[in-house]
Amino acid sequence: MSKKLLMAAAVASLMALTACGTNPTNAQIGTATGAVLGGAAGSALGGGTLGTVGGAAAGALIGNEVGKRQDQKR
């Protein structure tokens, strides 16, 4: 079940990024990348749906903040 959820998150992230009319910001890229990596880590460490979703949420938050800082440096 968690692999299906992880794949769904990855596909949704890719669809969201490719649907943009303009180039995505670093914050958007960081959010998507963090969600996918966090979901994978949460699934590997915590297992189950809760670990995957929690990891994806934490990864998205961290990735967004890192991306925002990179955007501000520009």
**66 dihedral zone (left: phi>0; alpha: psi -120 to 50; beta):** alpha
13 is written with which tokens? 């992230």
Pairwise CA distance, residues 52 & 44, whole Å: 8
Domain that holds residue 59: 2-8+26-73
Report if residue 39 sits inside a domain: yes
pLDDT tens, residue by residue, 18-66: 665 678 889 988 998 999 899 889 888 877 888 888 888 999 999 999 9
> Is 31 among the domain residues?
yes
Question: Looking at the domain assignment, is residue 19 inside a domain?
Answer: no
Work out how many domains the chain is built from and give that number: 1
31 within 8 A of 64, measured Cβ to Cβ:
yes
Is 58 a member of any domain?
yes
pLDDT(1) > 80: no
Any domain includes 53: yes
- In this structure, how many other beta carbons lie within 10 angstroms of the beta carbon of residue 21? 4
- Tokens describing residue 24: 């995505």
* Residue 14 maps to a domain: no
